[in-house]
């Protein structure tokens, strides 16, 4: 019996080697990866630039110092993040929930600074922001929250893509200090915000003096063809939590602030022992540079569009919707489809199912079009067999 705590329902497969978009299990079987460790392995496996940067940092002997001292790699990583986000200040942490926890604290502090004793944050139905007490309270899923009550107070929930609901809250709740939104909900089923809605939401934030928090932990960092989804909508938020793909697999998170949120945190307001250490920062620098130099954002759009178009062409009965943006792909079926994960693994394809009935693909950004065709070639027959079997049953 394993001593690993039983918090995940795991597939009986262990990957032990990787190269590009390919993985090998302990028995030597080869798999095509269309999930990237849930949007983490941006550069796939064994990317030379990332490997070299990490090895050099390890060889320097200084993989960790402390935030008590200057960390030149952290300064260089923050400069790059400021450049791509258009924002000003970066707080480094180690995960998505920590980035969101920091964002929630910024929103509360911002509220207090404006004389609101009990600041509230507007959050969305079906959102996922993490599993700490504050972030699970912000999350719009009873499954994630059940058993952990009392929840953290101060969240007001509205449906995604419903601007009127936000205006309603604005009209009667004087405690709101921020809106927090995943512009494309990942765990919730690849639910894409309309760009018009995001712009409307930003206008309400500007009218009310609220912070706009764009949780781009899953959808950000090049996956949709721009660095961030808010850039498709053409405005700048105040707070952008990041993690997952930021260092190509090295654990790192970042809470990036600017505009109305600039300067809200002062020395002593927040901290992290590991956050921004030299090893993680060398991962950030190498990953962001590779995305830019290798034009991986353009590739992400081609690959995502190709996969969606090819699956659409197959016109499989039982597919209710095919959606997403760039290499963030959701295929909604008319029935629960968790079993598809193992069936695809048997066919040598790694993907995932979320929200019970949405097949999710988040391929590494290094995937090329031939490999994307191969994803479709492996997925199509498994999908058809799955839907036919269930239809006959
Ligand atoms: C949008 C979003 N925010 C936050 C998180 C939490 O990140 P982590 O698991 O690194 O804490 C996730 C994880 O799936 C996410 O998708």
- Is the CB of 354 inside a 6 Å radius of any atom of ligand 1? no
At 204-226, the pLDDT tens digits run 999 999 999 999 999 999 999 99
Mutate to test the pocket of ligand 1, among 130, 140, 254 (most ligand atoms within 8 A of CB): 130
102-120 burial code (b ≥16 CB/10 A, e <16): bbbbbbbbbbeeeeeeebb
Residues assigned a catalytic role: 128, 215, 244
Q: What is the DSSP letter of 146?
A: T
Alpha-carbon distances, residue 382 vs 327, 333, 344, 345, 375 (angstroms)? 21, 13, 6, 10, 11
At 352-380, the pLDDT tens digits run 999 999 999 999 999 999 999 999 999 99
Closest CA to 345 of 8, 10, 2, 3: 10
Alpha-carbon distances, residue 92 vs 74, 229, 275, 277 (angstroms)? 8, 21, 5, 9
- Is the CB of 129 inside a 6 Å radius of any atom of ligand 1? yes
- Rounded to an integer, the average pLDDT of 75-95 is 98
Alpha-carbon distances, residue 189 vs 5, 125, 225, 330, 378 (angstroms)? 26, 12, 20, 7, 22
CB 229 within 8 A of CB 220: yes
What is the tally of helices (H) and strands (E) in the chain? 13, 17
Ligand 1 atom index nearest CA of 187? 16
Ligand 1 atom index nearest CA of 185? 1
3-state DSSP assignment of residue 151: coil
- Rounded to an integer, the average pLDDT of 138-157 is 98
Nearest protein CA to atom 4 of ligand 1, as residue? 129
Ligand 1 atom index nearest CA of 95? 10
Q: How many whole angstroms separate alpha carbon 49 and alpha carbon 290?
A: 7
Question: Which pLDDT value is given to residue 64?
Answer: 98
At 274-303, the pLDDT tens digits run 999 999 999 999 999 999 999 999 999 999
At 2-44, the pLDDT tens digits run 999 999 999 999 999 999 999 999 999 999 999 999 999 999 9
Burial of 232 (0-12, 13-18, 19+ CB in 10 A): middle
- Is the CB of 130 inside a 6 Å radius of any atom of ligand 1? yes
- Is the CB of 136 inside a 6 Å radius of any atom of ligand 1? no
């Amino acid at each position: 019996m394993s001593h690993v705590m039983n918090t995940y329902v795991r597939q009986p497969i262990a990957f032990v080697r990787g190269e590009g978009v390919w993985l090998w299990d302990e028995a030597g079987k080869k798999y095509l990866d269309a999930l990237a460790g849930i949007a983490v392995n941006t550069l796939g496996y064994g990317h030379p630039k990332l490997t070299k940067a990490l090895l050099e940092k390890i060889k320097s002997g200084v993989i960790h110092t402390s935030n008590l001292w200057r960390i030149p790699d952290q300064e260089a990583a923050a400069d790059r993040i400021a450049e791509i986000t258009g924002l000003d200040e970066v707080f480094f942490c180690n995960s998505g929930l920590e980035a969101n926890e920091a964002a929630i604290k910024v929103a509360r502090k911002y509220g207090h600074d404006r004389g609101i004793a009990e600041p509230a944050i507007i959050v969305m139905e079906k959102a996922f922001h993490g599993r700490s007490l504050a972030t699970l309270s912000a999350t719009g899923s009873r499954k994630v929250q059940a058993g952990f009550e009392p929840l953290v107070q101060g969240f007001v929930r509205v449906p995604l893509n419903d601007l009127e609901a936000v205006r309603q809250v604005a009209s009667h709740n004087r405690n709101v200090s921020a809106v927090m939104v995943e512009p494309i909900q990942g765990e919730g089923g690849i639910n894409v915000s309309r760009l018009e809605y995001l712009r409307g939401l930003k206008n309400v934030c500007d009218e009310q003096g609220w912070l706009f928090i764009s949780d781009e932990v899953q959808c950000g960092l090049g996956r949709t063809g721009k660095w961030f989804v808010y850039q498709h909508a053409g405005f700048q938020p105040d707070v952008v939590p990041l993690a997952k793909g930021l260092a190509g697999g090295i654990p790192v998170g970042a809470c990036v602030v600017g505009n109305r949120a600039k300067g809200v945190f002062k020395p002593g307001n927040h901290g992290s022992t590991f956050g921004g250490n030299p090893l993680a920062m060398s991962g950030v620098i190498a990953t962001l540079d590779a995305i830019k130099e290798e034009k991986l954002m353009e590739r992400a759009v081609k690959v995502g569009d190709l996969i969606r178009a090819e699956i659409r062409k197959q016109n499989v009965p039982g597919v209710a919707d095919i959606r997403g943006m760039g290499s963030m792909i959701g295929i909604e079926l008319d029935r629960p489809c968790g079993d598809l994960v193992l069936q695809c693994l048997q066919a040598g394809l790694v993907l995932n199912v979320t929200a019970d009935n949405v097949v999710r693909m988040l391929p590494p950004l290094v995937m090329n079009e031939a490999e994307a065709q191969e994803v479709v070639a492996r997925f199509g027959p498994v999908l058809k067999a799955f839907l036919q079997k269930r239809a006959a049953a």
